[in-house]
């Protein structure tokens, strides 16, 4: 077993990067001062590759659906970086740079801030799925010496579906109603849905949704 | 009334579409996505043994008084003026061998018939990749959490100057989010 102290920080703005750290900032889609920043101690870690994830791109798969395009366009972003542990120069001189990167120890680390609205678990599920997919993709590219770390504000509590998805890759049955409710979840509309026999099952689940307030 | 029914139909259609997409997403998730676990997932249990009794008492009070329905994670990682709870995490790759073959990603297959084939595909994928996953785990470098930074309790936040009751930021904390820090160690196969 080898031990190394990793020094990675995540924050929301790029204004407070301490000396000795290298930092990368990714602004939300649409600009503004919000975004994600990832910083690491440059004496310990070195960037190998990175992928900027714009979750708005999820909407491109649903161009024909106006409401899905609207729901999935929230401006959230994620950073995914492959960082290798800095080793003494002599250790790498015998290998080409690309091979050295893959055989060295490192991490694939991400930082994100998922969509905040508690009613939109559906959006956070898609964002989480994309994030894990990119993490896996980069990790596979880097090889077995780069385990994955995901940091951030996931806007999801440990008793909710997104945390469960991130840690188990499944959704508990009790959480499924959270994905059904339309954004404008008025109780009057729910009562109308519940009276329609053709959609009663979905309507019932929507009614359950209100108990999750 | 007719308009309301039309709107309700439209929303129900959207809800069903959303559910089908969730089913589709979950169908391949277990075989295609990495297994992650939170570095703070056993924080409250470990804190009981590691922290001073006064802090543990404050932590237990926070667990009881807040609306959290979980154990393990801290009661909150954000402490704003309108809401507090745990929403920030450090997730690390977990051992793939922790998979439970009996799990299915598809939960409500009786209400969405189209998802049945997706569920079958997911189960088949899971079985087929089981051995590959085990082999992959045995050659991968993994991470273990050796230490995590203690998170403040309500009592700590209340004692900090400049805040409004339990509200952060204050003169001590520049954000309404706590700082999470995990010390990780590599384990080479």
Looking at the partner chain, which of B35, B91, B111 has a beta carbon nearest the beta carbon of A149? B91
pLDDT at A150 over 60: yes
The alpha helices in A7-96, defined as continuous H runs, are 66-72
CB contact under 8 A, A1 and B186: yes
Q: What is the pLDDT of residue B114?
A: 35
CB contact under 8 A, A199 and B11: no
Q: With H, G, I as helix, E, B as strand and everything else as coil, classify residue A52.
A: strand
Residue of chain B nearest A178, judged by CA positions? B19
Mean pLDDT confidence for A197-206: 29
CB contact under 8 A, B73 and A158: yes
Q: What are the pLDDT digits (tens) for B37-46?
A: 999 999 988 8
Q: What is the CA radius of gyration of chain B?
A: 22
User: Rounded to an integer, what distance in angstroms lies between the CA atom of residue B168 and that of residue A24?
Assistant: 26
User: Which pTM was predicted?
Assistant: 0.79
**Which of these ranges, A162-176, A181-195, B147-161, has the smallest mean pLDDT?**
A181-195
CA A40 to chain centre: 19
CB contact under 8 A, A168 and B103: yes
Decide which of A111 and B133 is more confident.
A111
User: Rounded to an integer, what distance in angstroms lies between the CA atom of residue B91 and that of residue B106?
Assistant: 24
Q: What is the pLDDT of residue A181?
A: 66
Say if residues A84 and A44 touch (Cβ distance below 8 Å): no
Residue B115: both structure tokens together: 């998802």
Q: What are the pLDDT digits (tens) for B77-99?
A: 988 877 888 999 999 999 765 44
Mean pLDDT confidence for B149-174: 80
Residue A149: both structure tokens together: 């770390």
Say if residues B87 and A154 touch (Cβ distance below 8 Å): yes
Residue of chain B nearest A11, judged by CA positions? B179
User: Rounded to an integer, what distance in angstroms lies between the CA atom of residue A79 and that of residue A157?
Assistant: 22
Looking at the partner chain, which of B8, B26, B186 has a beta carbon nearest the beta carbon of A192? B8
DSSP B103-161: --S-S-TTT-TTHHHHHHHHHHHHHHHHHHHHHHHHHS-EEEEEEEPPPPPHHHHHHST
Mean pLDDT confidence for A135-158: 95
CB contact under 8 A, B186 and A146: no
Q: What is the pLDDT of residue A151?
A: 93
CB contact under 8 A, B33 and A65: no
What is the overall mean pLDDT for chain B? 76
Q: What is the pLDDT of residue A9?
A: 54
CA A174 to chain centre: 23
Q: What is the pLDDT of residue B167?
A: 77
pLDDT at A106 over 80: yes
pLDDT band with cut points at 50, 70 and 90 for residue B136: low
Q: What is the pLDDT of residue B95?
A: 76
Say if residues B93 and B34 touch (Cβ distance below 8 Å): yes
Mean pLDDT confidence for B10-34: 87
What is the overall mean pLDDT for chain A? 77
Q: What is the pLDDT of residue B108?
A: 26
B121 touches chain A (CB under 8 A): no
B48 touches chain A (CB under 8 A): no
Q: What is the pLDDT of residue A95?
A: 59
Q: What is the pLDDT of residue B157?
A: 84
Decide which of B71 and A149 is more confident.
A149
Residue A123: both structure tokens together: 């959006």
Q: What is the pLDDT of residue B13?
A: 83
Q: What is the pLDDT of residue A13?
A: 54
Q: With H, G, I as helix, E, B as strand and everything else as coil, classify residue A200.
A: helix
Residue of chain A nearest B119, judged by CA positions? A170
pLDDT at B134 over 50: yes
Total Cβ atoms within 10 A of residue B97: 12
Mutate to test the interface with A, among B29, B136, B178, B187 (most CBs of A within 10 A): B29
pLDDT at A170 over 80: yes
Q: What are the pLDDT digits (tens) for A1-52?
A: 444 444 555 555 555 667 888 888 898 887 777 888 888 888 889 999 999 9
Mean pLDDT confidence for B16-35: 90
Q: What is the pLDDT of residue A84?
A: 93
CB contact under 8 A, A169 and B87: no
CB contact under 8 A, B26 and A170: yes
Decide which of B185 and A206 is more confident.
B185
């Amino acid at each position: 077993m080898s031990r190394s102290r990793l020094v990675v920080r995540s924050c929301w703005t790029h204004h407070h990067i301490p000396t000795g750290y290298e930092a990368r900032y990714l602004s939300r889609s649409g600009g503004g001062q919000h975004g994600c920043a990832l910083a690491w101690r440059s004496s310990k870690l070195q960037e190998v590759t990175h992928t900027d994830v714009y979750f708005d791109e999820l909407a491109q798969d649903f161009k024909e659906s106006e409401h899905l395009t609207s729901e999935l366009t929230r401006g959230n972003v994620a950073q995914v970086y492959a960082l290798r542990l800095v080793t003494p120069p002599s250790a790498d001189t015998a290998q080409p740079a690309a091979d050295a990167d893959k055989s060295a120890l490192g991490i694939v680390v991400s930082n994100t801030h998922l969509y905040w609205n508690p009613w939109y678990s559906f959006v956070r599920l898609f964002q989480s799925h994309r994030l894990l997919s990119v993490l896996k993709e980069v990790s596979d590219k880097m090889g077995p010496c780069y385990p994955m770390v995901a940091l951030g504000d996931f806007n999801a509590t440990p008793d909710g579906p997104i945390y469960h998805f991130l840690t188990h890759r499944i959704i508990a049955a009790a959480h499924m109603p959270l994905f059904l409710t339309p954004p404008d979840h008025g109780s009057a509309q729910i009562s109308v849905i519940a009276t329609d026999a053709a959609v009663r099952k979905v309507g019932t689940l929507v009614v359950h949704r209100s108990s999750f307030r | 009334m007719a308009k309301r029914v039309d709107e309700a139909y439209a929303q129900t259609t959207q809800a069903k579409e959303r559910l089908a997409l969730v089913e589709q997403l979950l169908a391949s998730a277990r075989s295609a996505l990495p297994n992650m676990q939170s570095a703070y997932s056993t924080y409250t249990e470990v804190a009981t043994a590691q922290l001073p009794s006064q802090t543990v008492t404050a932590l237990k009070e926070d667990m009881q008084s807040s609306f959290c329905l979980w154990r393990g994670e801290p009661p909150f990682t954000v402490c704003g003026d309108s809401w507090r709870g745990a929403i920030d995490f450090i997730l690390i790759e977990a051992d793939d061998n922790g998979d439970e073959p009996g799990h299915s990603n598809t939960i409500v297959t009786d209400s969405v018939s189209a998802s049945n084939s997706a569920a079958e595909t997911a189960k088949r994928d899971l079985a087929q990749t089981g051995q590959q996953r085990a082999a992959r785990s045995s050659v991968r470098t993994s991470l273990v959490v050796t230490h995590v930074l203690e998170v403040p309790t309500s009592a700590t936040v209340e004692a900090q100057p400049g805040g409004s009751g339990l509200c952060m930021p204050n003169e001590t904390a520049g954000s309404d989010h706590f700082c999470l820090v995990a010390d990780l160690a590599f384990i080479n196969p």
